[in-house]
């Protein structure tokens, strides 16, 4: 898969480690985050990754800020993006299986490096189950259409 990764200044080291890990799993990674630890603004990176996913330049996205929340809020403003914050591996596979999330987010101040890699692997290994979950995902899209 081709995967976009984005981050703010709180998550530079974790981003690097996650990037290497995702590459080691055989995926292509596009780094859309900052590589500087100077204070910056997370919405910029949430938007970049969100647009790349919505425009189908990549298959999915990974976002990391301090908590994962701010950057996920920004990504979710892009039409077609379904991003949620995952701090555990159960959420990480269910967010794909049930919600068909195309972006996951987590917090560099919340999860440790090993947990972050486990979260990413759980998400990447999972598949959308469709069926009743498709109905609910369609309902979310209808809300988005209403604006």
What is the set of active-site residues? 65, 98
Among 8, 61, 81, 92, the residue binding ligand RB5 under the rule CB under 6 A is 8
Are the beta carbons of 13 and 109 closer than 8 angstroms? no
- CA dist list (Å): 78 to 53, 63, 103, 118: 9, 14, 11, 27
> What does the block give as tokens for 13?
């080291």
Using rule CB under 6 A, residue 40 touches ligand RB5: no
Among 6, 33, 50, 70, the residue binding ligand RB5 under the rule CB under 6 A is 70
For residue 35, the minimal CB distance to ligand RB5 (Å) is 15
Using rule CB under 6 A, residue 67 touches ligand RB5: yes
- Only one of the segments 66-74, 94-102, 112-120, 136-144 lies at the binding site for ligand RB5 (rule: CB under 6 A); that segment is 66-74
For residue 67, the minimal CB distance to ligand RB5 (Å) is 4
Among 16, 30, 69, 137, the residue binding ligand RB5 under the rule CB under 6 A is 69
| Chain centroid offset of residue 80 CA | 13
Are the beta carbons of 42 and 16 closer than 8 angstroms? no
Q: What is the dihedral angle through the alpha carbons of 21, 27, 28, 32, rounded to the nearest 10 degrees? A: -50
Q: Which residues bind ligand RB5 (CB under 6 A)?
A: 8, 10, 42, 65-67, 69-70
């Amino acid at each position: 898969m081709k995967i976009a990764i984005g981050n703010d200044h709180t998550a530079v080291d974790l981003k690097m480690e996650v990037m290497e890990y995702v590459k080691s799993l055989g995926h292509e990674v596009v780094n859309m985050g900052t590589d500087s630890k100077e204070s910056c603004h997370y919405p910029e990176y949430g938007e970049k990754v969100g647009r790349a996913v919505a425009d189908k330049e990549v298959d999915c996205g990974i976002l990391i800020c301090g908590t994962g929340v701010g950057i996920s809020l920004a990504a979710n403003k892009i039409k077609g993006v379904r991003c949620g914050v995952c701090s555990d591996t159960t959420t990480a596979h269910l967010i794909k299986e049930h919600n068909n999330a195309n972006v996951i987010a987590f917090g560099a101040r919340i999860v440790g490096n090993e947990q972050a890699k486990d979260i990413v692997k759980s998400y990447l290994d999972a598949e959308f189950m469709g069926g009743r979950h498709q109905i609910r995902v369609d309902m979310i899209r209808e809300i988005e259409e209403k604006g």
